[in-house]
Every structure is written in C-alpha cells, then in structure tokens.
Amino acid sequence: MAKYKMILDLDTGIDDALAIAYALASEECDLIGIVGSYGNILVEDGVQNSLDLLELLGRPDIPVFTGLPHASTKDSFEVMPISAQIHGKNGIGEVKLKKADRKPETMSGIDFFIEAAHKYGKDLVIVPTGPLTNLAAALEKDPQIAKLVGKVTLMGGALTVPGNVNPVTEANINQDPEAADKVFRSEFPLTMIGLDVTTRTLLTTKETQKWRDLKTLAGEKYAELTDYYIDAYKVTSPHLGGCALHDPLAVAAAIDPSLVTTLDLNMKVDTEGPYAGRTIGDETRINEPALLTKAAVNVDKGRFVDLFMERLTTLFSKN
Ligand code: BDR
Ligand code: CA
C-alpha cells in the first residue's frame, strides 16, 4: 500500500507534541514536513519546539517551515493566559529539551503547502491542529490546491458541544475565524475533528507512567510534558477526568477514518457578532449535497486510546 504523505500544521503545544509522536509512530504515513503556526505559543517558539521534539524522537531529517505569525485580520499576536496555563509558557509544559542543531527551512510554510500539493496531489494529507491561517493563505495564493490534495483532517471547532473559549467557539477556530471560514467553504475534502470527539479521548497519569517506566529520554520527557497538561486539565476541565487528546486524534483519524463517525455537512464559520468563531452548517448550502465536508460526531475512544498508547510507547522505547 502506498504511504500517505502527511504535513502537520502545528502551534506546538503539548497535544501538538503528541500529534508529532503519533505521526512518527504510524507506518501508514510519511511525515514530509511540519509547518509552524502561532496559537498555544508564538510562531517562532512553536517552530523551535517542533525542531527540538523531532530531534528527541530521532527524526532530525524532517523539515520544519515557519508559518504566519498572527491571524489574517490582525497585525500582531499575544499568547492568551489560558494557553500558557494549559501548555506552559514554553508550550511544552516547561520541560527543557536539548536545542536542535538545525534551523527551520528558508522556504515559507505557505509555499511548502503549495509545492507539496502540486508534487503529491491525492497522496497528500494535511493535518492542521492550530489556527487555519497558514492553510487559508496558501489557498489564497494558489486556489488550485484545494482540488489537488487528498484530504484535510483538522483539529478544531465544535458542532454538538459548547466551545472551550466561550459557549460557541473552540480555541483553534477562535484565533482566526475568517481563515477558518475560507477553509471550511473551500473545495478541500475536509473532515473536522472537533471538541465533539476530542474531549472523549482522554489520558491520565496511569498511562504516562508507562512511558516513564521505559527509562528512555523520550519516554521521560513525554511523560513530564503530558503530566503538566493532565494537571492543567484538573483545574480547567475537572469534569473530564483526564486530558483531551485533541491533536493526536486528528492524526489518527486522518490515517484511519473508521475511528470516527462523521456527519456530511456543508459548513461555515461565523466571523462576526455574538457567534463569531462558531462552526456550523451553512444555511445557504443546506439543500446542496455535502460532498466535501464532514464533521466527526462520535469516536471509538477505546480503540483510539489503545492505538495511541501502543504506538507512542513503541516509539518512546526506541528513543
Ligand atoms: C486545540 O487548541 C490548542 O490549544 C490545542 O493544541 C488544540 O489544538 C484545542 O481546542
Ligand atoms: Ca494545537
């Protein structure tokens, strides 16, 4: 079976770090590059985290590209206090990693998306797990890419549950609703992996202890950064009983869509008024067949968490 070519677009905080590990641990896909976004951290800090994590996981060969530093409608970005509380000021739970020996690529993340879409076409899978600013910018620069790529499976949004920033919006979409709206209404074949499913897939310190017990550097560092995230969830979402595996679930669903149940729906993102940032069905296209956009509404959580632990534990045992 031909392997997917995967690009991750990350605001490298803790669950983004888990998404990198899931992609590297999955034989079904070749991670061909990471594009950095702002969000949980400033773009340059996220890029550095991605470089350092790839080195920790023994893959300094995977290129990292810098994306845009702020939302499409703004001219600056500051990290929200809640992001620092959940991911730590450095984005990876204040865990110190050895600084990578290399720098990010000189090509921009936007151009990398465009080049890869033309080169790999339907074999390319894009998994954004931060704001959609970079992908919307690539689409604006080269609208053809929407029809070229295999699929976009993104972490963001909330359809059947409340948001996590306010009752209607989820954090990644909230950063740049205009960019998200462009992506949702585009011709990308798109699956939304939102809070509907990601807050059902949870991890506790019982699992992270297994990584610590491996006595490898990657096992120890990943246990430490994930425990920071688990502790933050005890304060911000005590009703869940663990931390939400948002971003790795998007990678897993991109590789194996049967992990989630989806609803075919033409979607939009509200960009103004009291519902700004809401991801919902587009009433103007409600009578058109929804051929391109799906929203995940249920997940086989047991199967996913088992796969997640199997894959990451194997990866950390070797690093
Ligand atoms: C999403 O927001 C970010 O903080 C997380 O990394 C995840 O991608 C959850 O709402
Ligand atoms: Ca993220």
| Ligand 2 is an ion; residues with CB less than 5 A from it | 11, 16, 129-130, 247
Q: Please tell me the distance between residue 284's alpha carbon and the centre of ligand 2 in angstroms.
A: 30
Encode 137-148: b = buried (16+ Cβ within 10 Å), e = exposed. Answer: bbbeebeebbeb
Q: Are strands 151-155 and 190-193 parallel, antiparallel or unpaired?
A: parallel
Atom of ligand 1 nearest to the CA of 83: 4
pLDDT, residue 12, reads 98
Whole-number Å distance between alpha carbons of 62 and 76: 29
The protein residue with its alpha carbon nearest to ligand 1, atom 9, reads 171
Domain-wise residue ranges, the chain: 4-317
Query: Tokens in use for 184?
Result: 């949702």
3-state secondary structure of 242: coil
DSSP code at position 237: -
- Cβ of residue 169 lying under 6 Å from some atom of ligand 1: no
Whole-number Å distance between alpha carbons of 293 and 138: 19
Best probe residue, ligand 1, of 16, 38, 247 (max atoms within 8 Å of C-beta): 247
pLDDT, residue 244, reads 98
Give the residue carrying structure tokens 């669950």.
Answer: 15
SS (H, E, C) 43-99: HHHHHHHHHHHHHHCCCCCCCEEECCCCCCCCCCCCCCHHHHHHHCCCCCCCCCCCC
3-state secondary structure of 152: strand
- Cβ of residue 91 lying under 6 Å from some atom of ligand 1: no
Q: Please tell me the distance between residue 14's alpha carbon and the centre of ligand 2 in angstroms.
A: 8
Looking at the CA of 11, which ligand is closest? Answer: 2
Atom of ligand 1 nearest to the CA of 198: 9
Whole-number Å distance between alpha carbons of 281 and 118: 30
Whole-number Å distance between alpha carbons of 48 and 11: 11
pLDDT tens, the chain, 319 aa long: 568 999 999 999 999 999 999 999 999 999 999 999 999 999 999 999 999 999 999 999 999 999 999 999 999 999 999 999 999 999 999 999 999 999 999 999 999 999 999 999 999 999 999 999 999 999 999 999 999 999 999 999 999 999 999 999 999 999 999 999 999 999 999 999 999 999 999 999 999 999 999 999 999 999 999 999 999 999 999 999 999 999 999 999 999 999 999 999 999 999 999 999 999 999 999 999 999 999 999 999 999 999 999 999 999 999 9
Atom of ligand 1 nearest to the CA of 40: 4
Q: Please tell me the distance between residue 20's alpha carbon and the centre of ligand 1 in angstroms.
A: 14
Q: Give me the count of residues in the chain.
A: 319
Distances (CA, A) of 196 to 90, 172, 179, 232, 254: 28, 14, 21, 20, 16
Cα 183-185-187 angle, rounded to 5 deg: 80
Nearest to residue 265, comparing CAs of 297, 298, 293, 299?
293
- Cβ of residue 13 lying under 6 Å from some atom of ligand 1: yes
- Yes or no: is domain 4-317 CATH 3.90.1150.10? no
3-state secondary structure of 263: strand
Catalytic residue numbers? Answer: 11, 246
Atom of ligand 1 nearest to the CA of 165: 10
Whole-number Å distance between alpha carbons of 43 and 68: 7
Which residues 6+ apart lie within 8 Å of 93 measured at CB?
A: 14, 87, 224, 225, 226, 227, 228, 229
Burial (0-12, 13-18, 19+ Cβ within 10 Å), 286 = exposed
pLDDT, residue 1, reads 55
The protein residue with its alpha carbon nearest to ligand 1, atom 8, reads 129
pLDDT, residue 291, reads 92
**Beta carbons of 254 and 150 less than 8 angstroms apart:** no
Cα 143-145-151 angle, rounded to 5 deg: 130
pLDDT, residue 276, reads 98
**Beta carbons of 92 and 13 less than 8 angstroms apart:** yes
Q: Please tell me the distance between residue 205's alpha carbon and the centre of ligand 1 in angstroms.
A: 20
